[in-house]
Every structure is written in structure tokens, then in C-alpha cells.
Amino acid sequence: MKFFIDSADLEAIREIKAMGMCDGVTTNPSLMAKAGRIDTDALLKEICRIVQGPVSGEVIATDADGMVAEGRRLAKIDDHMVVKVPTTYEGLKATAALAAEGIAVNCTLVFSASQALLVAKAGAAYASPFVGRLDDVSEDGMQLIADLVEIYGNYDFATEIIVASVRHPLHVVESARMGAHIATIPPEVVRKLVSHPLTDRGLAAFLADWNKLQGGN
């Protein structure tokens, strides 16, 4: 399973990459705003240099022609760039056009199996179903992942599933159990994935015993 980092924070990306836990990065306009850098193309270039794997940058246009023009510009930033396109009717047109030019597309804001099916047929390299946001409206985000793994498997679609809007470790573990290709994980959830109270308690006990052995109290 591949781990992408869902962030435009260079420090966090560098740190997690050094741990071997960053196979790619996804950004979106909100994450770019959080990073606070107005030179977004330069920021994406820096992320690509660190990650040396797929880095998604999102288009802002909402019409197909605008998305294609932006997508071409984003793709020129670096060979690792993936163009993120919203899953709308116009977005599907843009996806097919960009894919035909050999540009990798990540269709974002996927909330249903029907959308995911169209995204794969349009030739997207990635589909990003948002599990946390579905959970937020009392729908079962992980059930969508199970459906997509089944549907894509039935037809051997080349489109990879990026489990997105990940909010907690169970989203990642369940995604792995279901065989989703990728989870894009916020840095704070990466920290939660490693943390366990019994590890902390066990380590504290080992260190206390060691100190006693050394003649401390």
C-alpha cells in the first residue's frame, strides 16, 4: 500500500519522507492556502523535488477548456506532477483530454461509486473518494472504498484508488484490509498511526527499571 501525504507543508513532507512513509503528496486549494505561499507553482516544484513521486496540484477552473489549459501548465512544473480535477461533467471532459495527452489526472471530490466508474472510464490515473466527508454526513465512507475496490477489480481498471479525507488511523487500516492502492494521510494522522499507549507505558517502565539498575531510584 502506498502512503501519500495530504499536505503542502514542506517541513512535514520532508520529515515523513525521511521516515520512508511518503510515496507521494496530494494538495488542494485549501491546503495551499494553509501553507500560505502565493507562489504555488514554485511550492509544488519544491514538493516534487523532495518527494520524487506523484504530487497532485489542483486546477481552479470549472470549465473543461480552462481545466485543460491549467492542467497543461501544472504538468509542465515537473515530471512528477499529477493534475487534480474535480469530478464534474466538465471535469470528466478535461480528464479524458488530459489523459489523451499522457498527463496523469487525479479526479477529486469523488463521493459515489457511479462517479468513480466514470472517472476510470475517462482514463484518470487516480480516483480520490473522500471518506471523512461522507462520514460527516452520516454516510459510510469506507463502504464506498469497498465498492470501488470491487468494481475496479471486476474490470481491471488501471485507475488507482486514493483514499482521501482520511481523519483517523482506522481509515488507513481499513483501507489496507480492503486492498485500496493508496491512502493520502494528513501528517497528524501519520503521528497517530504510530502512537500506542501501551508502547509509551512499556517504554517508561523499561527506562525506569534501567535507571534503578544504574543505582537511581
* Contact map string, positions 20 to 59, toward ligand E4P, x by CB under 6 A: ------x-x--x----------------------------
Q: Is 169 in the site for ligand E4P (CB under 6 A)?
A: no
Let me know: does 112 contact 147? Beta carbons within 8 Å. Answer: no
Indicate the burial class of 141 (C-beta count within 10 angstroms; 0-12, 13-18, 19 or more): buried
Shortest gap between Cβ of 217 and ligand E4P (angstroms)? 47
Q: State the Cα–Cα distance between residues 50 and 103, nearest whole angstrom.
A: 21
Q: How many CB atoms lie within 10 A of CB 36?
A: 9
Q: What residues pair up with 64 in beta bridges, in sequence order?
A: none
Q: State the Cα–Cα distance between residues 11 and 135, nearest whole angstrom.
A: 29
Shortest gap between Cβ of 203 and ligand E4P (angstroms)? 31
Q: Is 111 in the site for ligand E4P (CB under 6 A)?
A: no
Select the residue interacting with ligand E4P from 87, 95, 108, 115 (CB under 6 A).
108
Q: Is 130 in the site for ligand E4P (CB under 6 A)?
A: yes
Let me know: does 197 contact 22? Beta carbons within 8 Å. Answer: no
Nearer to ligand E4P, 40 or 128 (CB): 128
Let me know: does 202 contact 171? Beta carbons within 8 Å. Answer: no
Q: How many amino acids of this chain bind ligand E4P (CB under 6 A)? A: 12
Stretch that binds ligand E4P, among 91-99, 130-138, 150-158, 171-179 (CB under 6 A): 130-138
Which grid coordinates belong to 39?
507562489
Q: State the Cα–Cα distance between residues 8 and 32, nearest whole angstrom.
A: 6
Q: Is 165 in the site for ligand E4P (CB under 6 A)?
A: yes
Q: Is 128 in the site for ligand E4P (CB under 6 A)?
A: yes
Q: Which one is catalytic: 76, 84, 121, 212?
A: 84
Q: State the Cα–Cα distance between residues 104 and 126, nearest whole angstrom.
A: 8
Select the residue interacting with ligand E4P from 87, 115, 159, 184 (CB under 6 A).
184
Q: State the Cα–Cα distance between residues 143 and 152, nearest whole angstrom.
A: 14
Catalytic annotation present for 84 = yes
Nearer to ligand E4P, 33 or 205 (CB): 33
Q: Which residues are catalytic?
A: 84
Interface residue list for ligand E4P (CB under 6 A): 6, 26, 28, 31, 108, 128, 130, 132-133, 164-165, 184
